[in-house]
Amino acid sequence: MAFQSLAGIGLRSPHVEEMLATRPAVGWLEIHAENYMGGGPTVRALDRLRLDYPISVHGVGLSLGSADGLDAGHLERLARLVERVEPTLVSEHLSWSIAGGAYLNHLLPLPYTEEALAIVTAHVARVQERLRRRILVENPSGYLRFHHSTLAEAEFLAALAQRTGCGLLCDVNNIHVTCANLGGDPDAYLGALPAEAIGEIHLAGHAVNDADGRPILIDDHGSPVAEPVWRLYERALARFGARPTLVEWDTDVPPLPTLLGEAAQAARRLDAAARGERDVHAA
């Protein structure tokens, strides 16, 4: 089956042993780059799994939006990992995590301004040049916006893709969460993304918390994909066509079969979308 219509799972350490022992049927695996930048059994397990599964390297620490500049040493480590793993996809986030030498371990929000666009554009170009390949940039989940933003997030991403040639990783759960928290229309968001740039889709669960007496959705990757997110995913597939889709589950990690079951649900929708595309081409 074409990679475009395969569903994958995020590889998490509690599942590695079972993955190695049972090699379940799943389209591909995504790893967090920063967990594989040392040596030892962690990377050796990946060396074995990558013989059986396509791998996607998903960075969480490059901090593409840092005004302080990219950490050249970290970019080198990412480049060495990419050389070792030979992944099918490489992705990072539209966010920042480093300021004044402190790494804050969160995908922090950017103001969507021309200043920020120029900084992120320069960083994505430098990463693509060093890795000698196109990367995908993911939309973050948002809990706040800045007064001085002049662009919508989707417009910012479209401009970034246009200026750098990068692809986009469309996190459907993040669109749902961000629009609920900041007052946006998820379908208008999808409509503003350039379909041809979408190289991957993410799905995950979210939680509902309280902030200052109002409900706020938290992208905690700690539960099954929510029903409204599945429906938004179907509309995303209708707009973009089949795209490799990943289910992430990071907190309260469930038994492996539960996660594989979520991926199977995505795979059914991908099959339907791929059949639809073939029918359109046939007609």
Partner 1 sequence: MSTLRELQRDIRDALLGEAEATVGEIAGDGVAPAARLAVYRHHVLTSLTAALETTFPVVVRLVDQRFFRYACDAYVRAQPPAGPCLFEYGATFPDFLAAFPPCRHLAYLPDVARLEWAMNVALHAADAGVLTPETARALPAGTLESARLALHPSVTLLPSPWPADALWRANQPGGDAIVDLDAGAVDLQIWRRGDDVVFRPLPPAAAAFRRALAGEGTLTVAARAALDAEPGADLAALVREVLDDEVLLDCTR
CB count, 10 Å around CB of 95? 23
Residues that bind partner 1 (CB under 8 A): 34-35, 37-44, 60-63, 65-68, 71, 73-74, 77, 96-106, 108, 110-111, 113, 115-116, 119, 143-148, 182-183, 209, 211-212, 214, 216, 218
Query: 178: which 2 tokens?
Result: 């961000």
C-beta of 274: minimal distance to partner 1 in Å? 36
Q: Which is nearer to partner 1, 27 or 65 (CB)?
A: 65
Residue 211: closest CA among 283, 144, 275, 112? 144
CB nearer to partner 1: give 134 or 145: 145
Provide the residue type at 110 as one letter.
L
State in angstroms the smallest separation of the CB of 12 from partner 1. 13
Residue type (1 letter), 36:
Y
How far apart, in whole angstroms, are the C-alpha atoms of residue 37 and residue 128?
A: 19
Name the minimum Å distance from CB 217 to partner 1. 10
Closer by beta carbon to partner 1, 131 or else 264: 131
φ/ψ of 48, rounded to 5, equals -80, -45
Question: Which CB, 58 or 243, lies closer to partner 1?
Answer: 58
| H or E segment to which residue 281 belongs | helix 256-282
Kindly state the smallest distance separating residue 35's Cβ from partner 1, in Å. Answer: 7
Looking at beta carbons only, is 26 or 117 nearer to partner 1? 117
Which pairing describes strands 198-204 and 167-171: parallel, antiparallel, or unpaired?
parallel
Q: Which ranges of 183-255 would DSSP assign to H, the alpha helix?
A: 186-192, 227-240
Cβ at position 184, least distance to partner 1 in Å: 11
* Structure letter (DSSP) for residue 35: G
